[in-house]
Structure 1
Amino acid sequence: MSQYPLYSAAEFRRRAQNQSGGPVDLAWRDHGDHALNPDNILHVEGLKLRDAAVLVPVIDDGDDANVIFTLRTSTLRKHSGQIAFPGGAIDPEDASPEMAAVREAGEEIGLADVFIEPVARLPFYLAATGFRITPILAVVKPGFELALNPTEVDDAFQVPLSFLMDPGHHATDTMVWNGVERHFYRMPYGARMIWGITAGIVRTLYERLYS
Structure 2
Amino acid sequence: MTDTEASLRAAVARAGRPSSDYDLNPEIRLPDGRTLRDASVLIAVVDHEASPGLILTKRSSRLKHHPGQIAFPGGKVEDVDTDASAAALREAHEEIGLPSSSVRVLGTLPPHETVTGFMVTPVVSLILPGFEPVPEAGEVAEVFEVPLAHVLDPANYRIQYRRWRGERRYYFTVPWGPYYIWGATARMLRALADRMSDDADRG
**TM-score normalised by the chain length of structure 1:** 0.86
* Aligned position for 2:183: 196
Secondary structure of the residue aligned to 1:39 is coil
Report what 1:35 is aligned to. Answer: 23
**Within the alignment, does 1:15 sit opposite 2:10 as a pair?**
yes
Q: 1:138 aligns to what?
A: 125
* Matching residue's letter, 2:40: A
Distance 1:202 1:17, change over 3 A: closer
- Which residues in structure 2 correspond to 1:140-179 (within 5 Å)? 140-179=127-166
Distance change (3 Å), C-alpha of 1:193 and 1:106: same
User: Do the aligned partners of residues 45 and 191 (structure 1) sit closer, same or farther apart at CA in structure 2, a change above 3 Å counting?
Assistant: farther
RMSD: 1.9
1:89-135: per-residue Cα shift (whole Å, max 9, x none)?
00011000000000000000001111111111111110111211010
Structure 2 residue ranges without an equivalent (≥5): 199-203
Structure 2 CA distance for aligned equivalents of residues 59 and 192 of structure 1: 19
Q: CA deviation at 1:39?
A: 2.6
Q: Distance in 1 between matches of 2:32 and 2:7?
A: 30
- What is the number of residues matched between the two proteins? 198
Partner of 1:74: 61
* SS state at 2:27 partner: helix
CA contact (8 A) 1:115 1:142 kept: no
Contact 1:116-1:140 at 8 Å conserved across structures: yes
Task: Name the amino acid aligned to 1:102.
Answer: L
For 2:10 and 2:51, the matched residues in 1 are separated by 15
Letter of the aligned partner of 1:36 in structure 2?
L
Corresponding residue number in structure 1 for 2:201: none
Pairwise CA distance, 1:32:
6.7
Q: Verify: 1:93 aligned to 2:80, yes or no.
A: yes
Among the aligned pairs, what percent are the same residue? 37
CA distance in 2, matches of 1:100, 1:72: 18
Question: Counterparts of 1:210 and 1:120 in 2: how far apart (Å)?
Answer: 18
- State the shift of 1:44 in Å: 6.6
SS of 1:163 mapped into structure 2: helix
Shift in Å, 1:45: 6.1
Residues 166 and 44 of structure 1: is their aligned pair in 2 closer, same or farther, counting only changes over 3 Å? farther
- Of 58, 62, 66, the match for 2:49: 62
Question: Unpaired runs of 5+ in structure 1?
Answer: none
For residue 182 of structure 1, report the CA deviation from its aligned partner.
Answer: 1.3
Question: What secondary structure is seen at the aligned counterpart in 2 of 1:38?
Answer: coil
Inter-partner Cα distance in structure 1 for 2:63 and 2:40 = 17
Q: Tell me the residue number matched to 1:125.
A: 112
State whether residues 20 and 184 of structure 2, in contact with CA within 8 Å, keep that contact through their aligned partners in structure 1.
no
Does the 8 Å CA contact 2:21/2:114 hold for their aligned counterparts?
no
Per-residue CA deviation, residues 135-171 of structure 1 (Å, 9 max, x unaligned), is 0000112222211100000000001111111122101
Change (3 A) 1:4 1:117: closer
Among candidates 163, 170, 180, match of residue 183 of structure 1: 170
Which amino acid in 2 is paired with 1:202?
L
- Aligned-residue offset at 1:191: 1.0
Report the residue type matching 2:23 in the other structure: A
Distance across 2 between alignment mates of 1:106 and 1:198: 19
